[in-house]
Amino acid sequence: MSAAAFLLSIFLAAIGEECETCHPGATRDVASTVHRGLENRCTGCHGGDPASFDERRAHEGDFREKPFTDCAACHETEAEAFGAGPHALATRTAAMRGCVECHGFHELPEPTHALLEDACARCHAADSPEIVEAGAATARALRALDGVLERAAATIEDLDAAGVPTRRERETLEGLRLRLLEVLPRQHEMDLDAFALSVAGLREESEAFAAGGGETLAGVRARRWWILPVLGIAALNALAIGLKRRSLRRIES
Protein backbone atom coordinates (compact mmCIF):
# COMPACT_ATOMS: atom_id res chain seq x y z
CA MET A 1 0.00 0.00 0.00
CA SER A 2 1.35 3.39 -0.99
CA ALA A 3 1.78 6.18 1.53
CA ALA A 4 -1.04 8.13 -0.11
CA ALA A 5 -3.40 5.16 0.05
CA PHE A 6 -2.47 4.52 3.68
CA LEU A 7 -3.16 8.14 4.63
CA LEU A 8 -6.44 8.02 2.74
CA SER A 9 -7.53 4.91 4.62
CA ILE A 10 -6.76 6.60 7.94
CA PHE A 11 -8.69 9.68 6.83
CA LEU A 12 -11.74 7.66 5.82
CA ALA A 13 -11.64 5.67 9.06
CA ALA A 14 -11.55 8.93 11.02
CA ILE A 15 -14.47 10.34 9.06
CA GLY A 16 -16.56 7.18 9.32
CA GLU A 17 -19.92 6.92 7.61
CA GLU A 18 -21.40 10.24 6.52
CA CYS A 19 -24.84 8.81 5.75
CA GLU A 20 -26.34 10.72 8.68
CA THR A 21 -25.81 13.99 6.81
CA CYS A 22 -28.68 13.13 4.47
CA HIS A 23 -30.39 10.34 6.39
CA PRO A 24 -30.46 11.43 10.07
CA GLY A 25 -33.61 9.53 10.97
CA ALA A 26 -32.47 6.21 9.53
CA THR A 27 -29.02 6.40 11.11
CA ARG A 28 -30.51 7.27 14.52
CA ASP A 29 -32.84 4.29 14.25
CA VAL A 30 -30.01 1.91 13.40
CA ALA A 31 -27.81 3.33 16.18
CA SER A 32 -30.48 2.45 18.75
CA THR A 33 -30.97 -1.19 17.68
CA VAL A 34 -29.13 -4.52 17.66
CA HIS A 35 -27.00 -3.30 14.74
CA ARG A 36 -25.61 -0.37 16.70
CA GLY A 37 -22.32 -2.15 17.39
CA LEU A 38 -21.48 -2.71 13.73
CA GLU A 39 -18.55 -0.66 12.48
CA ASN A 40 -20.21 0.03 9.12
CA ARG A 41 -23.83 0.10 10.11
CA CYS A 42 -25.10 1.59 6.83
CA THR A 43 -22.72 0.31 4.18
CA GLY A 44 -22.64 -3.16 5.71
CA CYS A 45 -26.12 -3.65 4.25
CA HIS A 46 -26.40 -0.96 1.58
CA GLY A 47 -22.86 -0.70 0.20
CA GLY A 48 -21.86 2.52 -1.55
CA ASP A 49 -19.25 5.09 -0.52
CA PRO A 50 -19.77 5.99 3.15
CA ALA A 51 -17.27 8.86 3.16
CA SER A 52 -18.76 10.85 0.30
CA PHE A 53 -21.02 13.86 0.75
CA ASP A 54 -21.98 13.71 -2.93
CA GLU A 55 -25.25 11.86 -3.51
CA ARG A 56 -24.18 10.24 -6.77
CA ARG A 57 -20.81 9.04 -5.46
CA ALA A 58 -22.26 7.92 -2.14
CA HIS A 59 -24.71 5.65 -3.96
CA GLU A 60 -22.41 4.30 -6.64
CA GLY A 61 -20.63 0.97 -6.92
CA ASP A 62 -22.39 -1.91 -5.18
CA PHE A 63 -24.97 0.34 -3.50
CA ARG A 64 -28.24 -1.49 -2.78
CA GLU A 65 -31.36 0.59 -2.29
CA LYS A 66 -33.38 -2.23 -0.71
CA PRO A 67 -31.01 -4.95 0.54
CA PHE A 68 -33.74 -7.28 1.79
CA THR A 69 -31.82 -10.41 0.79
CA ASP A 70 -28.49 -9.34 2.28
CA CYS A 71 -29.35 -10.44 5.81
CA ALA A 72 -27.90 -13.84 4.90
CA ALA A 73 -24.42 -12.33 4.77
CA CYS A 74 -24.40 -12.26 8.59
CA HIS A 75 -27.33 -14.56 9.43
CA GLU A 76 -26.57 -17.56 7.25
CA THR A 77 -28.25 -20.22 9.40
CA GLU A 78 -31.47 -18.22 9.76
CA ALA A 79 -31.51 -17.43 6.04
CA GLU A 80 -31.08 -21.10 5.15
CA ALA A 81 -34.04 -22.04 7.34
CA PHE A 82 -36.06 -19.15 5.88
CA GLY A 83 -35.31 -20.41 2.37
CA ALA A 84 -36.78 -23.81 3.22
CA GLY A 85 -40.10 -22.37 4.38
CA PRO A 86 -43.23 -20.85 2.85
CA HIS A 87 -42.07 -17.27 3.42
CA ALA A 88 -39.29 -17.72 0.87
CA LEU A 89 -41.85 -18.32 -1.87
CA ALA A 90 -43.88 -15.36 -0.64
CA THR A 91 -40.76 -13.21 -0.88
CA ARG A 92 -39.96 -14.39 -4.40
CA THR A 93 -43.49 -13.56 -5.54
CA ALA A 94 -43.35 -10.15 -3.77
CA ALA A 95 -46.18 -11.14 -1.43
CA MET A 96 -43.88 -10.18 1.45
CA ARG A 97 -40.60 -8.31 1.78
CA GLY A 98 -38.36 -10.97 3.23
CA CYS A 99 -36.76 -10.66 6.66
CA VAL A 100 -37.84 -7.06 7.20
CA GLU A 101 -41.50 -8.06 7.03
CA CYS A 102 -41.22 -9.47 10.56
CA HIS A 103 -38.05 -7.88 11.92
CA GLY A 104 -38.39 -4.30 10.68
CA PHE A 105 -36.10 -1.97 8.76
CA HIS A 106 -33.70 0.46 10.39
CA GLU A 107 -35.53 0.40 13.72
CA LEU A 108 -34.71 -3.30 14.09
CA PRO A 109 -35.47 -4.29 17.71
CA GLU A 110 -33.86 -7.05 19.73
CA PRO A 111 -35.51 -10.28 18.52
CA THR A 112 -37.73 -11.85 21.18
CA HIS A 113 -40.16 -14.73 21.36
CA ALA A 114 -42.96 -12.16 21.13
CA LEU A 115 -42.25 -11.85 17.40
CA LEU A 116 -43.99 -15.19 16.94
CA GLU A 117 -47.12 -13.57 18.36
CA ASP A 118 -46.97 -10.05 16.96
CA ALA A 119 -45.60 -10.74 13.48
CA CYS A 120 -47.86 -13.73 12.81
CA ALA A 121 -50.90 -11.73 13.88
CA ARG A 122 -50.04 -8.81 11.59
CA CYS A 123 -50.44 -10.93 8.47
CA HIS A 124 -52.60 -13.90 9.47
CA ALA A 125 -55.08 -12.72 12.11
CA ALA A 126 -57.93 -12.26 9.63
CA ASP A 127 -57.63 -15.29 7.38
CA SER A 128 -55.58 -17.87 9.34
CA PRO A 129 -56.11 -17.58 13.10
CA GLU A 130 -54.71 -21.09 13.55
CA ILE A 131 -51.32 -19.82 12.36
CA VAL A 132 -51.49 -17.00 14.90
CA GLU A 133 -52.28 -19.48 17.67
CA ALA A 134 -49.45 -21.76 16.56
CA GLY A 135 -47.05 -18.83 16.77
CA ALA A 136 -48.35 -17.84 20.20
CA ALA A 137 -48.08 -21.43 21.47
CA THR A 138 -44.51 -21.64 20.22
CA ALA A 139 -43.67 -18.36 21.96
CA ARG A 140 -45.11 -19.69 25.22
CA ALA A 141 -43.10 -22.91 24.89
CA LEU A 142 -39.88 -20.96 24.34
CA ARG A 143 -40.56 -18.73 27.35
CA ALA A 144 -41.23 -21.82 29.47
CA LEU A 145 -37.94 -23.35 28.34
CA ASP A 146 -36.13 -20.12 29.20
CA GLY A 147 -37.71 -20.27 32.66
CA VAL A 148 -36.49 -23.83 33.22
CA LEU A 149 -32.94 -22.90 32.22
CA GLU A 150 -33.01 -19.87 34.51
CA ARG A 151 -34.21 -22.04 37.39
CA ALA A 152 -31.42 -24.51 36.73
CA ALA A 153 -28.88 -21.67 36.68
CA ALA A 154 -30.17 -20.33 40.01
CA THR A 155 -29.95 -23.81 41.57
CA ILE A 156 -26.35 -24.14 40.43
CA GLU A 157 -25.51 -20.82 42.06
CA ASP A 158 -27.13 -22.02 45.32
CA LEU A 159 -25.14 -25.26 45.18
CA ASP A 160 -21.96 -23.30 44.58
CA ALA A 161 -22.73 -21.09 47.57
CA ALA A 162 -23.25 -24.22 49.66
CA GLY A 163 -19.76 -25.43 48.77
CA VAL A 164 -20.86 -28.18 46.39
CA PRO A 165 -18.66 -28.65 43.27
CA THR A 166 -20.70 -27.55 40.25
CA ARG A 167 -18.31 -27.85 37.31
CA ARG A 168 -20.19 -30.74 35.69
CA GLU A 169 -23.55 -29.03 36.22
CA ARG A 170 -22.29 -25.80 34.65
CA GLU A 171 -21.01 -27.69 31.63
CA THR A 172 -24.36 -29.45 31.24
CA LEU A 173 -26.27 -26.16 31.48
CA GLU A 174 -23.98 -24.55 28.92
CA GLY A 175 -24.58 -27.50 26.61
CA LEU A 176 -28.35 -27.09 26.92
CA ARG A 177 -28.10 -23.38 26.15
CA LEU A 178 -25.95 -24.04 23.09
CA ARG A 179 -28.44 -26.58 21.81
CA LEU A 180 -31.21 -24.01 22.22
CA LEU A 181 -29.19 -21.57 20.13
CA GLU A 182 -28.88 -24.26 17.47
CA VAL A 183 -32.63 -24.93 17.53
CA LEU A 184 -33.82 -21.30 17.43
CA PRO A 185 -32.96 -20.55 13.76
CA ARG A 186 -35.21 -23.41 12.66
CA GLN A 187 -38.29 -21.40 13.58
CA HIS A 188 -37.69 -19.46 10.35
CA GLU A 189 -38.76 -22.58 8.43
CA MET A 190 -42.24 -21.88 9.84
CA ASP A 191 -42.85 -25.59 10.38
CA LEU A 192 -44.00 -24.74 13.88
CA ASP A 193 -45.24 -28.25 14.75
CA ALA A 194 -41.81 -29.78 14.12
CA PHE A 195 -40.14 -26.84 15.84
CA ALA A 196 -42.42 -27.26 18.87
CA LEU A 197 -41.39 -30.92 19.15
CA SER A 198 -37.73 -29.92 19.25
CA VAL A 199 -38.43 -27.32 21.93
CA ALA A 200 -40.51 -29.79 23.95
CA GLY A 201 -37.72 -32.38 23.88
CA LEU A 202 -35.15 -29.86 25.02
CA ARG A 203 -37.47 -28.58 27.74
CA GLU A 204 -38.07 -32.12 29.04
CA GLU A 205 -34.34 -32.72 29.26
CA SER A 206 -33.80 -29.32 30.92
CA GLU A 207 -36.55 -29.97 33.47
CA ALA A 208 -34.98 -33.30 34.40
CA PHE A 209 -31.63 -31.57 34.82
CA ALA A 210 -33.15 -28.76 36.92
CA ALA A 211 -35.04 -31.28 39.06
CA GLY A 212 -31.83 -33.23 39.72
CA GLY A 213 -30.08 -30.07 40.82
CA GLY A 214 -33.02 -29.21 43.06
CA GLU A 215 -32.89 -32.62 44.73
CA THR A 216 -29.16 -32.24 45.36
CA LEU A 217 -29.72 -28.81 46.88
CA ALA A 218 -32.55 -30.11 49.06
CA GLY A 219 -30.27 -32.89 50.31
CA VAL A 220 -27.54 -30.39 51.18
CA ARG A 221 -30.00 -28.22 53.08
CA ALA A 222 -31.43 -31.25 54.90
CA ARG A 223 -27.96 -32.30 56.03
CA ARG A 224 -27.42 -28.78 57.35
CA TRP A 225 -30.47 -29.12 59.62
CA TRP A 226 -29.09 -32.37 61.04
CA ILE A 227 -25.73 -30.80 61.84
CA LEU A 228 -27.12 -28.62 64.63
CA PRO A 229 -28.71 -31.46 66.66
CA VAL A 230 -25.62 -33.63 66.16
CA LEU A 231 -23.36 -30.82 67.33
CA GLY A 232 -25.68 -30.20 70.26
CA ILE A 233 -25.58 -33.84 71.34
CA ALA A 234 -21.81 -33.91 70.95
CA ALA A 235 -21.52 -30.79 73.09
CA LEU A 236 -23.76 -32.27 75.79
CA ASN A 237 -21.72 -35.49 75.78
CA ALA A 238 -18.51 -33.52 76.12
CA LEU A 239 -20.01 -31.52 78.98
CA ALA A 240 -21.21 -34.68 80.71
CA ILE A 241 -17.80 -36.31 80.36
CA GLY A 242 -16.12 -33.18 81.71
CA LEU A 243 -18.43 -33.08 84.73
CA LYS A 244 -17.90 -36.78 85.35
CA ARG A 245 -14.13 -36.40 85.34
CA ARG A 246 -14.32 -33.40 87.67
CA SER A 247 -16.49 -35.41 90.05
CA LEU A 248 -14.04 -38.32 90.02
CA ARG A 249 -11.11 -35.99 90.75
CA ARG A 250 -12.92 -34.61 93.76
CA ILE A 251 -13.61 -38.07 95.09
CA GLU A 252 -10.00 -39.10 94.61
CA SER A 253 -8.76 -35.99 96.37
Each residue of 77-108: pLDDT tens digit? 999 999 999 999 998 898 888 898 898 888 88
Q: Are residues 87 and 139 in the same domain?
A: no
Closest CA to 34 of 117, 113, 105: 105
Closest CA to 132 of 183, 192, 173, 172: 192
Q: Are residues 147 and 210 in the same domain?
A: yes
Query: Region 152-180: what's the mean pLDDT?
Result: 93
Q: Are residues 87 and 19 in the same domain?
A: yes
Q: Does the structure show a pLDDT above 90 at 130?
A: yes
- Average pLDDT taken over every residue of the chain: 83
Q: Is residue 28 part of a domain?
A: yes
Q: Are residues 135 and 52 in the same domain?
A: no
Q: Are residues 152 and 219 in the same domain?
A: yes
Q: Are residues 88 and 162 in the same domain?
A: no
Q: Are 121 and 133 in contact (CB under 8 A)?
A: no
Spatial CB neighbours of 232, under 8 Å, sequence gap ≥ 6:
none
> In this structure, what is the dihedral angle of CA atoms 41, 45, 47, 52, given to the nearest 10 degrees?
-30
Range of the domain at 48: 10-111
Q: Are residues 153 and 188 in the same domain?
A: yes
Instruction: Specify the DSSP element, H or E, that contains 9.
Output: helix 3-15
Q: Are residues 18 and 58 in the same domain?
A: yes
Q: Count structural domains, the chain.
A: 2
Q: Is residue 102 part of a domain?
A: yes
Q: Is residue 41 part of a domain?
A: yes
